[in-house]
Structure 1
Amino acid sequence: MENHTTVTEFILLGLSSDPQLQFLLFFVFWVIYLITLAANAVIMLVIKADSHLHTPMYFFLFYLSLIDICYSSAIVPKMLVNFLAAHKTISVNACFTQMFFMLFSGSCEISMLSAMAYDRYTAICKPLHYAGTMNKRVCRQLVGASWTMGVMHSLVNTVPVSKLHFCGPNEIEHFSCDLPHLLTLSCSRTFINKIALLFSAVILGFGTFLLTLISYIHIIFTILRIRSAEGRRKAFSTCSSHLIVVGLLYGAGFFQYMKPSSISSVTLDQVFSIQYSILTPMVNPIIYSLKNEEVKTALGRIFTKKKKCFSTDVNRVQL
């Protein structure tokens, strides 16, 4: 091992080596990133500004939007720089830092969605106990638990990887410092790292998925027992947005990690990585704003209030 040169930086090969295509990809992902930041920021501001949205469901949605901003910001800025850079390098420490925040954001995302599923289960299946069960203390504890699991999942995988030796090659066939790709470049034995990744991913991923699945099984049976069609529609409308988001995230994740090795390819891996790490943070606030009447109503109230304030200021200036 002493005869090898220690790697001080990695090369992110990205999505393409064609300069013209890279410029187009820069524009596309720059627009996606701006939409992600703006849409999630708007959701957070609306929830904070409108007292009608100070409920457990929107409390969780606020932090989900914050996590989506963190998730996208951990990947896209460096990705945009590399689209225009001649040397697409990232230092070893910066690579580990990016990997930490990617694992943290992804873990918090699925944990938060599980907490939101439990909130919908309590609201629909146990409405009489909802106010007492989902009080402010419980909501804060669920958010804190999500962040704690995210930190633990990140540390369990990042700390052992930081102790590995990298002596070359240093090219990552990806647009970010994805953990599985880093393990293939290590000159050290990575058996322990792979076991840690497998167990932490299975425990966290399967555990949160099982909680979400159980919650929605109870929700579906409860909705089916409602006699009126209008009552079923109203009950389902309160969780339809969350169900779409969960389906998109877990659908891409399961296909990514459960697909047969015969159809595995670098391009396919990159496509699904883009879907759940870059497109999902952009799509989430759009789904919640389009499918949720309360959010649209709150947006209307805020715009109306701002318009009245603007008209009043104009009239004062004219006077």
Structure 2
Amino acid sequence: MERENSTGVMEFVLLGLSQAREIQLFLFVLFLIFYSVILPANILIIFTIREDPHLGSPMYFFLANLAFLDICYCSVTPPKMLVDFFFCRKTISYGGCMAQIFFIHFLGASEVFLLMGMAFDRYVAICHPMRYASMMSREVCCALVGASWAVGFMHSILQVVLIIQVPFCGPNKLDNFFCDITQVIKLACTDVYMLELFMFFNSGLAILMCFLLLLISYGALLVRLHAGDPSKGTSKAASTCVTHVIIVFIMFSPAIYIYCRPFRSFPLDKVVYVFHTVVFPLMNPMIYTLRNKEIISAMKRLLVRHGICQRN
């Protein structure tokens, strides 16, 4: 409360996706259906990987953690967005706004570095297959996942510590359906040029560098696979790398659009934010699953075992 009083702003007003009641109702039904279908599917992926002994490799361990991170990420902003569709005046407290910023960047950065760990896993599997079991032991995998969470926390806490020092003394309207640094920083009643520059390096440039590094690494792996002897194993490895590249593009493209530019409003901002915070995160594990016959078979076995569906 002291921080809220010192800034002069106790809450932020969210303008939402649209002011038209009919459009809000349509979006509520659309997002609720999407959320109700895809969210349980991601939970099913986690339970399938956890319960099936055939999916005990590091690749599936990372996929389960990716699905968990995406579920957490999509639990930060969409629930409030769905509730706000029923209110004419949409508000969020100062503390709630800061909490949204923290968890969005914490989970988002953790997922970025988890994808880096998945890329390292594919590198070891393809380039050092004889040493794969020892190099990618359970302890190493847990360490990589833990490191991704730690880096995500450090990335996010730095931004929040800096943003809470900024005074907000007047305008409190955010032309969005949630709080993010690119929106909030524009309401500051002080010069924030240096802070914007730091945010660009901490978010925008870091995301761009990770994106390019992942593309280069997967490109090198695909070239190596293409130059090797064609076999079923090689084809499967190449398919897995292609799937990872698709996920990288889906995740990084909106983030690069949002953070690798001046913090100004553009016409496509809200559309990109919806895909970035609601649609794409939940779709990442689904894309991987649809391209992986082993997971689909494991899901069928799990559902048959629990009597949810019948064996064909």
State the TM-score, normalized to the length of structure 1. 0.88
Partner of 1:281: 281
Matches within 5 A, 1:198-213: 198-202=200-204, 204-213=206-215
Q: Distance in 2 between matches of 1:208 and 1:36?
A: 27
Unpaired runs of at least 5, structure 1: 312-319
Percent identity among equivalent residues?
40
Partner of 1:292: 292
Secondary structure class of the residue paired with 1:238: helix
> Partner letter of residue 117 of structure 1?
A
Q: Is 1:114–1:212's contact at 8 Å kept on the other side of the alignment? A: yes
CA RMSD between the two structures: 2.4
Once the two structures are TM-superposed, the CA of residue 309 in structure 1 deviates from its matched residue by: 11
Q: Is 2:211–2:248's contact at 8 Å kept on the other side of the alignment? A: no
Partner of 1:145: 147
Partner of 2:158: 156
Unpaired runs of at least 5, structure 2: 1-5
Q: Distance in 2 between matches of 1:183 and 1:147?
A: 25
Residues 157-166 or 187-196, more deviating: 187-196
Partner of 1:132: 134
Q: Is 2:204–2:260's contact at 8 Å kept on the other side of the alignment? A: no
Partner of 2:307: 307
Q: 1:310 to 1:299 in 2, by over 3 A?
A: closer
Once the two structures are TM-superposed, the CA of residue 211 in structure 1 deviates from its matched residue by: 3.8
Once the two structures are TM-superposed, the CA of residue 233 in structure 1 deviates from its matched residue by: 2.0
Matches within 5 A, 1:189-200: 189-200=191-202
Secondary structure class of the residue paired with 1:227: coil
CA-to-partner distance for each residue in 1:230-261, whole Å, 9 max, x for gaps? 45422212333222111212233334445799
CA-to-partner distance for each residue in 1:16-43, whole Å, 9 max, x for gaps? 0001111111111122222342121111
Q: 1:310 to 1:249 in 2, by over 3 A?
A: closer
Count of residues in correspondence between the two structures: 306
Secondary structure class of the residue paired with 1:73: coil
Q: Distance in 1 between matches of 2:212 and 2:266?
A: 29
Partner of 2:14: 12
Q: Distance in 1 between matches of 2:226 and 2:288?
A: 24
Q: 1:190 to 1:292 in 2, by over 3 A?
A: same
Residues 241-250 or 198-207, more deviating: 198-207
Once the two structures are TM-superposed, the CA of residue 265 in structure 1 deviates from its matched residue by: 5.0
> Partner letter of residue 93 of structure 1?
G
> Partner letter of residue 86 of structure 1?
C
Partner of 2:84: 82
> Partner letter of residue 171 of structure 1?
K
Matches within 5 A, 1:1-319: 6-202=8-204, 204-228=206-230, 230-258=232-260, 266-307=266-307
Q: Distance in 2 between matches of 1:235 and 1:149?
A: 28
State the TM-score, normalized to the length of structure 2. 0.90
Which has the higher Rg, Structure 1 or Structure 2? 1
Q: Distance in 2 between matches of 1:258 and 1:92?
A: 26
Q: 1:75 to 1:5 in 2, by over 3 A?
A: closer
Q: 1:280 to 1:310 in 2, by over 3 A?
A: closer
Residues 227-236 or 12-21, more deviating: 227-236
Q: Is 2:207–2:256's contact at 8 Å kept on the other side of the alignment? A: no
Once the two structures are TM-superposed, the CA of residue 168 in structure 1 deviates from its matched residue by: 1.6
Q: 1:309 to 1:20 in 2, by over 3 A?
A: closer
> Partner letter of residue 68 of structure 2?
L
Secondary structure class of the residue paired with 1:89: strand
